[in-house]
Amino acid sequence: MSATEIDFYELLGVSRDADGAAIKSAYRKLAMKHHPDRNPGCGESEAKFKAISVAYDCLKDPQKRAAYDRYGHAAFQNGGGPGGAHGNADFGDIGDIFETIFGSAFGGGGGRPRPRRGADLRYDMQIGLEDAFHGKSTEIEIEVSRSCDTCHGSGAQPGTHARTCNLCGGQGNVRAKQGFFVVERPCPNCHGAGEVITSPCRDCRGEGRIDVPQKLEVDIPPGVDTGTRIRLSGKGEAGPRGAPSGDLYIFVHVQPHEIFQREGTTLATRVPITFTKAALGGSIEIPGIDGEELTLEIPAGIQSGKQLRQRGAGMPVLQGRGRGDMVIEIAVETPTKLSKEQRSLLEEFRELETGDECPQSQGFFKKIRSALGA
DSSP 61: S
Per the domain annotation, does 178 fall within a domain? no
Write the CB contacts of 108 (distance below 8 Å, at least 6 apart in sequence).
Answer: 92, 95, 96, 98, 99
Indicate if 147 and 227 belong to the same structural domain: yes
Count of domains forming the chain: 4
Indicate if 125 and 65 belong to the same structural domain: no
Per the domain annotation, does 144 fall within a domain? yes
Give per-residue pLDDT as tens, 319-330: 888 999 999 999
Give per-residue pLDDT as tens, 270-280: 999 999 999 99
Indicate if 231 and 287 belong to the same structural domain: no
Confidence at residue 272, expressed as pLDDT on a 0 to 100 scale? 95
Backbone angles phi, psi at 130, to 5 degrees: -65, -40
Strand order in the sheet with 266-274: 261-263, 266-274, 326-333, 307-310
Confidence at residue 277, expressed as pLDDT on a 0 to 100 scale? 94
Indicate if 267 and 292 belong to the same structural domain: yes
Backbone angles phi, psi at 248, to 5 degrees: -110, 130
CATH number at residue 222: 2.60.260.20
Indicate if 275 and 359 belong to the same structural domain: no
The interaxial angle of helices 43-59 and 91-102, nearest 10 deg, is 130
Give per-residue pLDDT as tens, 58-99: 888 887 887 778 767 766 654 445 554 344 444 445 445 544
Indicate if 81 and 140 belong to the same structural domain: no
Indicate if 133 and 240 belong to the same structural domain: yes
Domain ranges, residue 202? 121-162+197-254
Confidence at residue 219, expressed as pLDDT on a 0 to 100 scale? 94
Residue 117 has pLDDT above 90, yes or no: no
Indicate if 47 and 158 belong to the same structural domain: no
Per the domain annotation, does 57 fall within a domain? yes
Give per-residue pLDDT as tens, 126-166: 999 999 999 999 999 988 888 888 888 888 889 888 888 88
Annotated binding site for Zn(2+): 148, 151, 165, 168, 187, 190, 201, 204
Confidence at residue 8, expressed as pLDDT on a 0 to 100 scale? 87
Per the domain annotation, does 167 fall within a domain? no
Per the domain annotation, does 27 fall within a domain? yes
Indicate if 368 and 352 belong to the same structural domain: yes
Give per-residue pLDDT as tens, 222-248: 999 999 999 999 998 888 777 788 899
Per the domain annotation, does 66 fall within a domain? yes
Indicate if 64 and 147 belong to the same structural domain: no
Question: What whole-number distance in Å separates Cα of residue 291 and Cα of residue 221?
Answer: 18
Indicate if 248 and 130 belong to the same structural domain: yes
Per the domain annotation, does 248 fall within a domain? yes
Indicate if 152 and 216 belong to the same structural domain: yes
Q: What is the pTM of this model?
A: 0.57
Annotated binding site: 148, 151, 165, 168, 187, 190, 201, 204
Question: How is the chain split among helix, strand and coil, in percent rounded to 5?
Answer: 30, 25, 45
CATH number at residue 17: 1.10.287.110
Per the domain annotation, does 36 fall within a domain? yes
String of b and e for 307-344 (b: at least 16 CB within 10 Å)? eeebeebbbbeeeeeebbbbbbebebeeeeeeeeeeee
